[in-house]
Chain A
Amino acid sequence: MLAVKEIDVYYGAIHALKNLSLDVEQGSIVTLIGANGAGKTTALKTISGILRPSSGAVLYKGKDITKTAPENIVALGISQVPEGRRVFQTMSVLENLEMGAYLRSNKKEIQKDMENVFARFPRLKERRKQEAGTLSGGEQQMLAIGRALMAQPELLLMDEPSMGLAPLLVKEIFDIIKDINSRGTTILLVEQNANMALSIADKAYVIETGEIVLEGSAEQLLKSEEVKKAYLGG
């Protein structure tokens, strides 16, 4: 479904992604794990069209989207839950969800998806008139996920959705990711929490200083000595 082909991405002189390739198969959960500053966010931003690779290509359903405008990439079915949630702080929960559906026009269907999001996250429904900035971290993460779902994505990019959350909430978020996937949405999940990510993923990539250093099935990587040592605390 998504194929990232040998991309190089720079911030000025900083070479953030080096000849990076990724494959995400339709219907799967793929995870990209790596330490602080490895280049995970950069990879997702490049797929979303916010950053441009200096070489290489991004293909989505066989179509080259390397130079496609970010809003058109969303229209093609790729949404992102950005790092740090990035909800619109002084807008209400409802307005945040509406922004997720910005490119859609069928009011009835939008309303239906809104109900689906509320069914999934009842706490958001209770707080729908509240400003997003007043929500707890976990609620904001749920809002960020709900907002991305409002675009009806076929491919959902998630950047460290478990960051800064209590262990119980982390588990809840991962259950939600599995559930979203089981309903047909393909997922590319970026995580530092390698254990959790590998436990729900089909396929995994390990990134270090902008390069893919390991790839394989999630099972394989969970067993791999290198991964255990570097990312699983033992």
Chain B
Amino acid sequence: MIEFAQQLVNGLSLGAIYALIALGYTMVYGIIKLINFAHGDVMMVGAYVGFFSITLLGTNILAAMLVAMLFCAILGVIIEKVAYRPLRNSTRIAALITAIGVSLFLEYITIFILGPAQKVFPSSAFPITEYHIAGISILNKNIFVFISAVVLMLILQYIIKWTKTGKAMRAVSLDMEAAVLMGISVDKTISITFAIGSALAAAAGVMVGVYYNTINPLMGIIPGLKAFVAAVLGGIGIIPGAMVGGFVMGLLETMVSGYGNSMYRDAVAFGVLILILLIKPTGLFGKNTGEKV
């Protein structure tokens, strides 16, 4: 029981990270029907910006997260403008291949500039404390990751549900042409979607730095894929689905590592993808509309 509770604690913070990344996938898919495979790499860039914010600018971890979010919001907007917008009316496969190109570009430009070696996330920025509660060990970094992710998700929910911008985002993703007839600027709304999604990924990147202690230029690939699976699991395009999917993936991964063999944890993630595509391709929260991912 204690062992289970322990895995739960670990899984929740990992799941929160996956959920944050999955949100970006799902929001972008919801609005332009593109699987943005560069999204995990935006997370990586966020981790580096956070790293340099701490080491060069001397900021604390929260400020580093904000700097990373701002930087990646702009990066996301630029990526959309330069790489995806010119292809908006072409085939989906063209945009998908472009996304893979952007992904490789971000990975190798980072290697080119900073080198391939991993960097150790400065522990001074986040001294680790361990708490013992009822026999469970809880690290302050787990609490930090979980709480900041939940706060960000609540802010996102607020924006989407209650603000004019959020409603416009929903309108555009439901019916782009009808949204245009309301006077909503589709370009602007898509830019905002990329900005928000990329900012969330950046926050997740800094969290990954805190959680795993090291960052490297290819660190976005596996968490990016797992977050993608999380988004599909929840039903791609569905925001609450991405959150739930993220937590499920995080918990599943820690349970597999804790009870089974940690060698299998990545295999399990993709097993989930195969299963969901076989059983319910629209995901846990999806309606069966016949739309295939």
Q: Which residues of A approach B to under 8 Å, CB–CB?
A: 48, 50, 69-71, 74-75, 79-80, 82, 86-91, 95, 98-100, 102-103, 147-148, 151
Q: How far apart sit A74 and B181, CA to CA, in the bound complex (Å)?
A: 7
Tell me which residues across on chain A come within 8 A of B174, comparing CB atoms: 88-91
- Find out whether the CB atom of B170 lies under 8 angstroms from the CB atom of A70: no
Nearest CB of A to B287, in Å: 10
Residues on A with beta carbons closer than 8 Å to the beta carbon of B185:
69, 71
Given A95-B167, A99-B171, A102-B168, is A88 in contact with B184 using a C-beta cutoff of 8 Å?
A: no
Q: Are B184 and A99 in contact (CB under 8 A)?
A: yes
Residue from the set B178, B179, B180, B181 with the largest chain A CB neighbour count within 10 Å: B181
The residue that A102 contacts in the complex, of B170, B175, B177, B183, with Cβ under 8 A, is B183
B160-217, CB < 8 A from A: 164, 167-168, 170-171, 174-175, 177-185
Also in contact, A74 and B183, with CB within 8 A (given A95-B167, A102-B168): yes
A88 partner residues in chain B, CB cutoff 8 A: 170-171, 174-175, 178-179
Contact B184 A71 (CB under 8 A): yes
**Chain B contacts for A103, CB-based, 8 A:** 182-183
Contact check, A91 vs B168: say whether CB atoms are below 8 A apart.
no
Are B179 and A99 in touch, CB under 8 angstroms?
yes
Q: How far is the CB of B108 from chain A (nearest CB, A)?
A: 38
Q: Which residue of the partner chain, among B167, B168, B171, B177, contacts A82 with CB atoms under 8 Å?
A: B177
Interface pair B180/A102, CB less than 8 Å apart: no
By the criterion CB–CB under 8 Å, are A91 and B181 in contact? no
Contacts of A147 in B (CB 8 A): 182
Find A151's partner among B179, B180, B183 (CB 8 Å cutoff): B183
Docked complex Cα distance between A95 and B181 (Å): 15
Q: Give per-residue flags for B134-166: 1 if the beta carbon is below 8 A from chain A beta carbons, else 0.
A: 000000000000000000000000000000100
CB pair A71–B178 under 8 Å, yes or no, is no
Give every chain B residue within 8 A of A71 (Cβ-Cβ). 180, 183-185
State the CA gap A90–B180 with chains docked (Å): 17
| B182 contacts A151, C-beta separation under 8 Å | yes
Contact A100 B182 (CB under 8 A): yes
- CB-based nearest A residue for B179: A99
Given contacts A88-B174, A90-B174, whether A99 and B180 have CB atoms under 8 Å apart is no
Q: Are A91 and B182 in contact, with the CB atoms below 8 A? A: no
**A99 B168 Cβ-Cβ under 8 A:** yes
Q: Which residues of A contact B177 (CB under 8 A)?
A: 50, 82, 86
Measured CB to CB, the closest approach of chain B to A1, in angstroms, equals 19
CB distance from B163 to the nearest CB of A (A): 11
B181 touches A82 (CB 8 A): yes
Among B168, B177, B182, the most chain A Cβ lie within 10 Å of the Cβ of: B182
Chain A CB within 10 Å, residue with most, of B170, B177, B180: B180
**In whole angstroms, what is the CA distance A100 to B170 when docked?**
14
Cβ distance A224 to chain B, nearest Cβ, rounded Å: 33
| 18 intermolecular pairs with C-beta atoms under 8 Å apart | A50-B177, A69-B185, A70-B183, A71-B183, A71-B184, A74-B181, A82-B177, A82-B178, A82-B181, A86-B177, A86-B181, A88-B170, A91-B167, A99-B179, A102-B168, A102-B183, A103-B183, A147-B182
Q: How far is the CB of B214 from chain A (nearest CB, A)?
A: 42
Q: How far is the CA of A33 from the CA of B72 in the complex (A)?
A: 51
- Known pairs A48-B180, A91-B174; list 12 more (Cβ under 8 Å): A50-B177, A69-B185, A70-B180, A74-B181, A75-B183, A82-B178, A86-B175, A88-B179, A91-B167, A91-B170, A103-B183, A148-B181
Complexed CA–CA distance, A70 and B177 (Å): 10
Minimum Cβ distance to chain A for residue B244 (Å): 18
Measured CB to CB, the nearest residue on chain A to B174 is A88
- Taking a contact as CB atoms closer than 8 A, the residue among A79, A90, A98 that contacts B181 in the complex is A79
Closest to A90 in B: B174
How many angstroms between the C-alpha atoms of A74 and B168 in the bound complex? 15
